[in-house]
Amino acid sequence: MTNSASNEAKRSTAGNLILPVAGLLAVIGVACWVVQLIVGPSVLADTIPWGVYIAAFFLLAGAGSGLVMMAAAGDWGILPALKDWRRSLLIGAAASYIAAGFMILLDLGQPVRIYNFFVSPNFTSMFVWDFLFLLVTVVLVLICFFRKETSKWLLGLTAVTALGIVLIEGWILAVNPVTVWNSALIPVVFLVEAIVVAVAVLLAAKGDAFESLKKILIGLLPLLLIFSLIEMFAGNYMGASQEAAGTKLLLTGSLAPFYWGWVVLGVALPFVLLLWKGARAGAVKLAAVLAVCGVLLAKINLLVAGQALPFEGGTIGYFPSIVEIGGMLGGLGLAVFLFVLGKNFFGDAPAAVEASAETEEAKAPAEAETEAEA
């Protein structure tokens, strides 16, 4: 009893710290954006145009889409354990999408560029379609959340548009003739990464409460590594010099710390922790956090490698500036801050009311039968 109370107190203390820490990170992110607006692009790393800002955007947009798909899977009975988490998943999705929008704002620099998306959109650009799908999905998520009567069909439609976001973002890279990016596997990898992040977020929140989700993550982590090896093998087998240069850049070149960091810390270690039968909830949560960090590293690898070969001849030493790191952490902190704030403000009252109503309906026939027998 004492140990249980102690553990509950520790969880409560940790929970109380999450909101202010996440809020502080969000403020730091906004401050970095202001510095960027005042000083200009000179505060950013000048070697790579698409760096940690776009990597964090892909991560957050994928997280939001994955959480929407998890909510739909719960409603449709694919993952029944998630049905009661519908509202929490939708809050997390909305928070992730808003934070993803903040990362795009950081990358674009000037807010007026967002305005141009509305007044003069170029519908031949996949970036415009990505923006439109993101906007439509956010609206649908909010409708699903605030709608009094739940509709699995509406949530299913929202999951389809969320899937569209992930596939479009993967397609943006896949149709690019740049080595490392030009692959039909990229959209598939983005989809798997989105599910990995969504599942990891749930496990990070609830530890080993979802045994089925642990199994999903155990299966998907090595799949991402297999995809990476397939890409490397295929390129080198064809004898393409650019593909060989890309492989060398990742395995032994300047991006090797990022790549091997992903393999060891983002795939192997969480995989082992999840397979550990005696692992406590803390170990599962650590595995989940490492999996999310691993996806972020994988996206940095992909983005930087694709730009290093054509622009820098494969010899590049990329490291984000302090402003970029602060902006990225700010975006991640904003997602957590909005989620915790949303949970505290809205809670799961409607789900609880529905459960209570179902319980009362179940009790009514039994009570009537008891009265009849009396």
> How many CB atoms neighbour CB 182 within 10 A?
16
User: Does residue 91 contact residue 339 with C-beta atoms inside 8 Å?
Assistant: yes
Confidence at residue 314, expressed as pLDDT on a 0 to 100 scale: 52
User: What is the spatial distance between Cα 33 and Cα 323, in angstroms, rounded to a whole number?
Assistant: 8
User: Does residue 106 contact residue 52 with C-beta atoms inside 8 Å?
Assistant: no
Confidence at residue 351, expressed as pLDDT on a 0 to 100 scale: 44
Confidence at residue 54, expressed as pLDDT on a 0 to 100 scale: 93
Burial of 307 (0-12, 13-18, 19+ CB in 10 A): buried
User: What is the spatial distance between Cα 208 and Cα 95, in angstroms, rounded to a whole number?
Assistant: 24
User: What is the spatial distance between Cα 347 and Cα 341, in angstroms, rounded to a whole number?
Assistant: 9
Residue where the block lists tokens 């439609």: 157
Confidence at residue 313, expressed as pLDDT on a 0 to 100 scale: 52
Confidence at residue 301, expressed as pLDDT on a 0 to 100 scale: 87
**340 pLDDT above the threshold of 90:** yes
User: What is the spatial distance between Cα 29 and Cα 66, in angstroms, rounded to a whole number?
Assistant: 24
SS (H, E, C) the chain: CHHHHHHHHHHHHHHHHHHHHHHHHHHHHHHHHHHHHHHCHHHCCCCCCCCHHHHHHHHHHHHHHHHHHHHHHHHCCCCHHHHHHHHHHHHHHHHHHHHHHHHHHHHHCCCHHHHHHHHCCCCCCHHHHHHHHHHHHHHHHHHHHHCCCCCHHHHHHHHHHHHHHHHHHHHHHHCCCCCCCCCCHHHHHHHHHHHHHHHHHHHHHHHHHCHHHHHHHHHHHHHHHHHHHHHHHHHHHCCCHHHHHHHHHHHCCCCHHHHHHHHHHHHHHHHHHHHCCCCCHHHHHHHHHHHHHHHHHHHHHHHHHHHHHHHHCCCCCCCCCHHHHHHHHHHHHHHHHHHHHHHHHHCCHHHHHHHHHHHHHHHHHHHHHHHHHC
Hey, what amino acid is at 306?
Answer: G
Name the least confident of 61-75, 141-155, 241-255.
241-255
Average pLDDT for 178-184: 77
Burial of 371 (0-12, 13-18, 19+ CB in 10 A): exposed
Q: What is the pLDDT of residues 263-319, one digit of tens each?
A: 999 999 999 999 887 667 888 999 999 999 999 999 998 888 888 765 555 556 677
Grade residue 39 by pLDDT with cuts at 50, 70 and 90.
confident
**364 pLDDT above the threshold of 60:** no
Grade residue 48 by pLDDT with cuts at 50, 70 and 90.
confident
Average pLDDT for 78-100: 93
User: What is the spatial distance between Cα 300 and Cα 124, in angstroms, rounded to a whole number?
Assistant: 26
Grade residue 356 by pLDDT with cuts at 50, 70 and 90.
very low
Confidence at residue 124, expressed as pLDDT on a 0 to 100 scale: 79
Grade residue 53 by pLDDT with cuts at 50, 70 and 90.
very high
Hey, what amino acid is at 206?
Answer: K
Structure tokens at 27: 């403020």
Would you give the DSSP letter of residue 1? -
**41 pLDDT above the threshold of 90:** no
The candidate with the shortest Cα–Cα distance to 274, out of 225, 223, 226, 208, is: 208
User: Does residue 93 contact residue 67 with C-beta atoms inside 8 Å?
Assistant: yes
What does the mean pLDDT of the chain come to? 82
DSSP 3-state assignment of 50? coil
pTM across the whole model: 0.85
Grade residue 334 by pLDDT with cuts at 50, 70 and 90.
very high
The candidate with the shortest Cα–Cα distance to 152, out of 96, 77, 65, 64, is: 77
**188 pLDDT above the threshold of 90:** yes
Q: What is the pLDDT of residues 147-167, one digit of tens each?
A: 877 788 999 999 999 999 999
Question: Highest mean pLDDT: which of 7-16, 47-56, 189-198, 298-307?
Answer: 189-198
